Amino acid sequence: MGKRDNRVAYVNPIAAARAKGPVETGGTSIQDYLNRPGRPTWEEFQERLDKRNHGSSTLADWEKKMNEQHKEDLRKNREKILSKSKKKKKKEKKSKKKKRHRSPSPSSSSSSDSESEIQVKKKKRKRKRDRSRSRERYDDSSDERKSSKDRRKRSKHK
């Protein structure tokens, strides 16, 4: 038994397709599609596109309504905030006026209040001074103690 020949000749696919001849199609061609009877004109085609791109009128109406509601809510909130700030400003002005009127008038209650405040401040200052002085004294005394201990140690070592 001899060996079989496994060699295959190369066939160019383009050349083989040309050798078969023209291909018959079963469906419609492009020419048939362009010449069909119900084909729309350019104007009709643009109208269809506009309708498609325009969208639903109910959606547009809903969006307008929501925008109006949102604007109304913003306006109400702005009015609230402005009215609050106006009230605050009025209160501040009134309190400033009251303070201005209190200081020049020599009423006994306000003067006694201010005198008592001054006395309290003086007492606080005095306390601070006393504390700092007592600390200084303590520090000085501890320094003296240390130095006396050092002297004793030195004398023992001699």
Q: Write out 75-143 in H/E/C secondary structure.
A: HHHHHHHHHHHHHHHHHHHHHHHHHHHHCCCCCHHHHHHHHHHHHHHHHHHHHHHHHHHHHHHHHHHHH
Q: How far is CA 91 from CA 1, 11, 85, 123, 129, in A?
A: 120, 101, 10, 35, 41
Rounded to an integer, what is the distance from CA 111 to the centroid of its chain? Answer: 51
The pLDDT > 70 percentage for the chain reads 79
pLDDT, tens digit, for every residue of 87-142?
A: 888 888 888 777 776 555 545 455 567 888 899 999 999 998 888 888 777 776 66
Give the pLDDT confidence score for residue 16 in this predicted structure.
92
Average per-residue pLDDT for the chain: 81
Record the tokens describing residue 148, joined without a space: 């006396």
Residue 78 has pLDDT above 70, yes or no: yes
Q: Is the pTM of this model over 0.75?
A: no
Give the pLDDT confidence score for residue 123 in this predicted structure.
92
Residue 144 has pLDDT above 80, yes or no: no
